[in-house]
């Protein structure tokens, strides 16, 4: 584990099996650290020491003593490191530089830093200034490409979400956060499921009987929706109400969304593989042509209208249905 000191105070982010303590408030924790705390996840902490890479861990140590964090986290770090190593290098997968040890039994995972943060954070910070439509569709294609690669390597993501998608220069997207992922041939236990807006409805099945590939592709459809419409499915609606809507087969409007057919087929379990989604999305993005269309969204970001150049009447852009 990389070690820093400031006025004799050492703070380390890593993993170790210790008793769980209540997490301090983000600003309180940030003010106590001599280096930059980028964020807190549900159970992890992410810091940067060089503004080029980040250290991901589940515990914080101060002056060589345990400060706070989660118990039994070394196994999770080792699991994620194994998956990153198995995946190797790919343009749509976050780069991992492996585990670093601070002292015996205390590790953190060094990853490349995403300069623009996670996709959801970026959307929330620019909610009234959505990126051009062609840029958003290219971002969505990056996500589909990444999941297709994951599946080709026998990895089940298990937690597809725009909070786990990371944004780089040029608005390119990489998949990351594989702490809950499953790898064929390894005895990793399921520890997590998708967030409510990304979770496949039961549709008469037991929770455990839902096909894993259909779960992955339903979540993929929600990610494509969030990126292309610039908001989460049923954003602002309580989780229990979203779950009830999904159970009634009620989904957000896709009117005017060029990826509407692809998203709907993900939600309706009509795709059988991420490869099929990749092929459909590739055709769609290719059919959009060069960046010559000026696209506007209405206040709800649901309807998309296009004007060729600066002349002519505004007309609704039709769906482009992949063959």
Q: Do 54 and 174 meet the contact criterion of CB atoms below 8 Å apart? A: no
DSSP code of residue 115: T
What pLDDT score was predicted for residue 193?
A: 87
Predicted confidence (pLDDT) at residue 130 exceeds the cutoff of 80: yes
Determine which helix (DSSP H) or strand (DSSP E) holds 189, and give its type and residue range. none
pLDDT of 212 above 50: yes
Start-end of H helices in the chain:
26-32, 74-87, 119-125, 133-152, 212-229, 239-247, 260-267, 274-287
Secondary structure (3-state) at 263: helix
pTM tops 0.85, yes or no: no
Residue 131 has pLDDT above 70, yes or no: yes
Q: Is the pLDDT of residue 20 over 90?
A: no
**3-class SS at 59?**
strand
Residue 253 has pLDDT above 80, yes or no: yes
- Could you tell me if 12 and 61 are in contact, meaning their C-beta atoms sit under 8 angstroms apart? yes
CB 179 within 8 A of CB 79: yes
- Classify domain 119-316 by CATH number: 1.10.510.10
Residue-wise pLDDT tens digits, 181-199: 999 999 998 888 899 999 9
The domain locations on the chain are 5-112, 119-316
Under CATH, what is the fold of the domain 5-112? Phosphorylase Kinase; domain 1 (3.30.200)
Q: Residue 166 burial by CB count (10 A; 0-12/13-18/19+): exposed, middle or buried?
A: buried
18 vs 162, residue with greater confidence:
162
Task: Report the candidate in 100, 103, 32 with the shortest Cα–Cα distance to residue 23.
Answer: 32
What is the distance, to the nearest Å, from the Cα of residue 243 to the centroid of all Cα atoms in its chain? 20
More confident residue, 287 or 311: 287
- pLDDT classification of 250: cutoffs 50, 70, 90: very high
Predicted confidence (pLDDT) per residue in 45-93, tens digit: 556 667 788 888 765 545 555 544 455 567 888 999 999 999 999 999 9
| Among 61-75, 95-109, 222-236, 262-276, the least confident range | 61-75
- Is the Cβ–Cβ distance between 224 and 259 less than 8 Å? yes
Residues 6 or more apart from 177 whose CB is under 8 A from it? 41, 80, 94, 159, 164
297 with 230: CB under 8 angstroms? yes
Q: Which one, of 226, 301, 221, 321, lies nearest residue 263 by Cα?
A: 221
Supply the mean pLDDT for the chain: 78
Contact 86, 186 (CB under 8 A): no
112 has pLDDT over 90 = yes
Q: Indicate whether 322 pLDDT > 80.
A: no
What does the pLDDT read at residue 305? 33
Give 81-108 pLDDT, tens digit per residue. 999 999 999 999 999 999 988 666 777 8
The torsion angles phi and psi of 209, rounded to 5 degrees, stand at -90, 0
Q: What pLDDT is stored for residue 59 in this prediction? A: 56
Mean pLDDT in residue range 240-269: 98
pLDDT of residue 319: 33
């Amino acid at each position: 584990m990389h070690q820093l000191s400031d006025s004799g105070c050492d703070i380390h982010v890593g993993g170790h099996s210790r008793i769980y303590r209540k997490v301090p408030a983000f600003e309180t924790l940030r003010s106590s650290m001599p280096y930059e705390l980028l964020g807190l996840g549900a159970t992890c902490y992410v810091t940067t020491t060089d503004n080029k890479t980040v250290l991901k861990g589940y515990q914080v140590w101060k002056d060589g003593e345990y400060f706070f964090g989660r118990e039994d986290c070394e196994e999770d770090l080792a699991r994620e490191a194994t998956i990153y190593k198995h995946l190797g290098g790919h343009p749509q997968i976050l780069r991992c530089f492996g585990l670093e040890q601070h002292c015996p039994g205390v590790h953190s995972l060094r990853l490349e830093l995403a300069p623009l943060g996670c996709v959801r954070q970026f959307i929330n910070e620019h909610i009234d200034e959505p990126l051009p439509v062609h840029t958003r569709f290219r971002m969505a294609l990056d996500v589909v490409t990444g999941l297709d690669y994951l599946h080709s390597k026998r990895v089940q993501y298990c937690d597809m979400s725009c909070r786990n998608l990371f944004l780089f220069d040029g608005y390119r997207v990489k998949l990351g956060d594989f702490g809950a992922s499953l790898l064929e041939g390894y005895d990793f236990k399921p520890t997590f499921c998708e967030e409510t807006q990304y979770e496949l409805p039961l549709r008469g099945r037991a929770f455990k009987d839902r096909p894993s590939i259909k779960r992955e592709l339903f979540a993929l459809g929600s990610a494509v929706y969030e990126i292309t419409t610039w908001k989460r499915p049923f954003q602002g609606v309580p989780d229990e109400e979203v779950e009830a809507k999904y159970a009634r087969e009620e989904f957000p409007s896709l009117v005017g969304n060029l990826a509407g057919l692809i998203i709907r087929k993900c939600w309706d379990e009509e795709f059988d593989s991420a490869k099929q989604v990749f092929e459909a999305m590739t055709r769609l993005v290719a059919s959009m042509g060069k960046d010559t269309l000026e696209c506007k969204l209405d206040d709800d970001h649901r309807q998309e209208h296009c004007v060729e150049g600066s002349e002519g009447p505004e007309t609704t852009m039709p769906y482009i249905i992949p063959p």
